[in-house]
Structure 1
Amino acid sequence: MFRGMNPINLDGKGRLAIPSRYRESISDHCDGRMVVTIDTETKCLLLYPQPEWEVIQEQLEQLPSYDPGARRVKRLLIGHATDLDMDSAGRVLLPAPLRDYASLEKRIVLLGQGKKFEIWSEDLWNATRDLYLQDEAVGAELPEQVKTLSL
């Protein structure tokens, strides 16, 4: 559903304008209702259409609460999950604590990842992308599933 890298400017209130090419799909799929949370591995945010998030949250809630790792992930992902509504201009307001977590300022990147978006600081995304490309150049091992793809 969502793919591509989209450089975007946050406005002074911390609103992200969803690129027009995604707006109709978001409106059709979830009536503009989305959920944003933190990524537990990198300093970026994850933006889901609400129905996609509900599936993930249900899976998270099934994790055993006595397991420290599961409890950590549930606290981070569900605890930071925030409902958002896309306004008539196609914007969503990113909460200040989440913007701070991901070091989001004026220049950001909205990165399509199929059923969700990642929201990155432009500088952090560029550095991360360059690191990924450097890893490939020096022979970083790819998962077996990736090696079987016919690209």
Structure 2
Amino acid sequence: MFRGASAINLDAKGRIAIPMRYRDSLHAEHGGKLVITVDIQSSCLLLYPIHEWTKIEAKLMLLSDTQPTQRALKRMLLGYAHEIELDGNGRLLLPLPLRQYANLDKQAMLVGQLNKFELWDEQAWQSEIAASQQTIRQEDLAADARLADFSL
């Protein structure tokens, strides 16, 4: 499981180094293979270990090719999806169209989300965190049974 936010850098070739704490499990459990695609609700990228991505593909297979919203969802997630592999130094090469989608330049944030990572431009991540804090402050967490335990 992936958790925590890590500040990382993109090199001149568009590569990122995965933090050491994740590398062993990515190699052992997934052969160092991941799939990267766009997040359809935010300007960030999603990095799925290959075995987690197969679960996403199974769900996408159930969607309609004729219903416009379902077709658009498939088009975005699958159209941008690239299989990538950790190199010997624990780096991933990010395809240019994906870097452009997420406005990635030099400084980025890799954020663990249990079964996947989000990859954000650092400034966009700071804005997202501020917006998330505002949303949480405005919400009555006790009113939603799934969130009640988080009212610490």
The interval holding the TM-score normalised by the smaller chain is over 0.9
Distance verdict in 2 for CA 1:14–1:2, change over 3 Å: same
Aligned residue pairs: how many?
A: 150
Unmatched tracts of structure 1, length 5 or more? none
Q: Distance in 1 between matches of 2:49 and 2:6?
A: 18
Q: Distance in 1 between matches of 2:106 and 2:73?
A: 29
User: Which deviations, in whole Å up to 9, do the C-alpha atoms of 1:12-58 show, x marking residues without a partner?
Assistant: 10001000000001001111011000000000000000111011011
Q: Secondary structure at the match of 2:63?
A: coil
- Residues 1-151 of structure 1 correspond to what in structure 2 (within 5 A)? 1-137=1-137, 139-140=138-139, 142=141, 143-148=144-149
Task: In structure 2, give the amino acid aligned to 1:132.
Answer: S
Q: Secondary structure at the match of 2:7?
A: strand
Q: Distance in 2 between matches of 1:43 and 1:140?
A: 24
How far does residue 2 in structure 1 lie from its aligned partner after superposition? 0.4
Identify the range of structure 1 (139-148 vs 55-64) with the bigger mean alpha-carbon deviation: 139-148
Task: In structure 1, give the amino acid aligned to 2:41.
Answer: E
Q: Secondary structure at the match of 2:42?
A: coil
Unmatched tracts of structure 2, length 5 or more? none
How far does residue 111 in structure 1 lie from its aligned partner after superposition? 0.2
How far does residue 136 in structure 1 lie from its aligned partner after superposition? 2.3
What percentage of aligned pairs have identical amino acids? 44
How far does residue 131 in structure 1 lie from its aligned partner after superposition? 1.3
Which consecutive segments of 4 or more residues in structure 1 shift more than 3 A? 141-144, 148-151
Q: Distance in 1 between matches of 2:74 and 2:105?
A: 27
How far does residue 141 in structure 1 lie from its aligned partner after superposition? 5.0
Q: Secondary structure at the match of 2:40?
A: coil
